Amino acid sequence: MYKSLYITDTRCIQDLELQNLKAVNLIVGANNTGKTTVLRAIAAKHRKTTHSFEFLPIREHRSMRLGNLWALMEMIEWDGVIIRDFLIGRLQLIEEKLESIFLQHYKRENSTYGRYLLAKLKGADKLVTTESLGSGFNHFLEILLSLVTRKPNDVVLIDGLEGFHYLLFPQVWECIFRLADNLQVEIQVFVTSSKSDVLPGFAELWTKYPEMGSLRRLEWYDGKIREIRYEVNELNYAIEWNLAVV
């Protein structure tokens, strides 16, 4: 797990040191302040090691990729918990009619086989593709599958936590914190956002797990990008008094 990172001469970042990194790290800031650049730098650094990483969202071939992740998930034992049931329960926060998800195989033109996911909804006679359930559903599914299929010391990079109703963010963060903490493997999560509606839910979970979270804002100052770090009490104060953080 990274405790700190030093990034230099990368796109718009001349030199930037990220300190006091934790299991779940939220990076906020206005557009064009280097948030995605930070994730790319982490990915490049992590790629040089023996560990793997997951960079989300990956929109190209998403349905096939989700099918592959689901197949991998079904092979994992998780402390006696049926992961499929856990995932369905969480996904029902977004699609309350969801009953189950099934893995479907198909044959490509080159005679190889691919996978995609179908969903059973309450009251529906036919299965529907998970893609038809909306971008928020699929983004959440992608996050959950990426977290539950990680190996020890893996890193998950989520570029732009969005597409959810603001009332759902506490539950989304609960899943991220719980899966980062409760998977019998040590993983580290980095999340970026330019939206303030991610903050109350993050603050709630960070308050509950004070040793797991970190928050920093990236901003331009004197021609360079710098970080402003927040403690959990500072974030809660800013939210209570409606002070700008993002």
The pLDDT score that the predictor gives to residue 52 is 64
* 185 Cβ contact partners less than 8 Å away, ≥ 6 residues apart: 150, 151, 152, 153, 154
70-124 residue pLDDT tens: 998 888 766 656 788 889 999 999 999 999 999 998 876 665 678 899 999 999 9
- The half-sphere exposure of 192 on its side-chain side, counting CA atoms within 13 A, is 21
The pLDDT score that the predictor gives to residue 151 is 83
Residues 156 and 52: their CA atoms lie apart, in Å, by 9
Which of left, alpha, beta for 52 (phi over 0: left; psi -120 to 50: alpha)? beta
Distances (CA, A) of 75 to 63, 78, 175: 19, 10, 20
Query: Is the Cβ–Cβ distance between 155 and 146 less than 8 Å?
Result: no
Average pLDDT over residues 152-158: 90
Query: Is the Cβ–Cβ distance between 33 and 2 less than 8 Å?
Result: no
The pLDDT score that the predictor gives to residue 235 is 98
Average pLDDT over residues 122-140: 95
* 148 Cβ contact partners less than 8 Å away, ≥ 6 residues apart: 73, 76, 78, 83, 86, 87, 179, 183
Tell the burial category of 165 from Cβ atoms under 10 Å away from its Cβ (0-12, 13-18, 19+).
exposed
More confident residue, 207 or 106: 207
| Second CATH level (architecture) for the domain 1-52+151-246 | 3-Layer(aba) Sandwich (3.40)
Global pTM reads 0.92
Q: For strand 213-221 and strand 188-193, is the pairing parallel, antiparallel, or unpaired?
A: unpaired
Q: What are the extents of the domains in the chain?
A: 1-52+151-246, 61-133+143-149
